[in-house]
Amino acid sequence: MINDRLKKIIEEFKIIEKKLAQPEISTDSKKLKELSGEHARLSEIVTKIEELNKINSRIVENNEIVAKEKDKGIVTMAESELTTLKEKKEELEKQLKVDLLPVDKNDRKNVIAEIRAGAGGDEAGIFGADLMRMYQRYGENNRWKV
């Protein structure tokens, strides 16, 4: 099921790239913005899918080396690489599962947060300032406009 879904995403990505290359799309700013946003979202997923495919092929190669090779040193190197490749594969699969969750239309919208000092005097003001700095740093770390 997940492989079918990944193939559909790759096909959709290629279709969007073809649409973006059409000259009539450049005149329709609304359609261009919509396609560009979808292209950006899908490009991250496609990059992870391609990396996962490379890891899978390297796992197959290393399994063949372990099965056929007689030199113990090479087998040991292949086995150690297999463990790291399997860990990377698990991590990528987890990331892809999160990326494949349905997209909420409100995810890309702006947010305005207001922080006020409530009852508590100066300490409430200090807490509000600390809270604001915390949200600012969180936004900066996520490359959000603050």
Residue 131 has pLDDT above 90, yes or no: yes
Query: pLDDT at position 7, please?
Result: 87
State residue 56's pLDDT score. Answer: 92
Indicate if the pLDDT at residue 1 is higher than 70: no
Q: Is the pTM of this model over 0.85?
A: no
> By C-alpha distance, which of 19, 3, 4, 13 is closest to 42?
13
Contact 58, 89 (CB under 8 A): no
Quote the pLDDT of residue 132: 93
Q: Specify the pLDDT at position 83.
A: 92
Q: What secondary structure letter does DSSP report for 23?
A: G
Residues in CB range of 75: below 8 A, 6 or more apart: 65, 66, 69
Contacts of 133 (CB under 8 A, 6+ apart): none
Cβ–Cβ under 8 Å, residues 62 and 85: yes
76-80, 90-94, 123-127, 142-146: which range is least confident on average? 142-146
% pLDDT > 90, the chain? 40
DSSP-derived secondary structure letter, 63: H
**How large is the average pLDDT for residues 124-146?**
90
**pLDDT, tens digit, 9 for 90 and up, residues 89-128:** 999 999 988 888 887 778 778 888 888 888 878 899 899 9
Tokens 């090479």 sit on residue: 74
Tokens of 24: 């009539």
3-class secondary-structure state, position 79: helix
Measured at the alpha carbon of residue 48, what is the angle toward residues 46 and 108, in degrees to the nearest 5? 70
- Mean pLDDT across the chain: 88
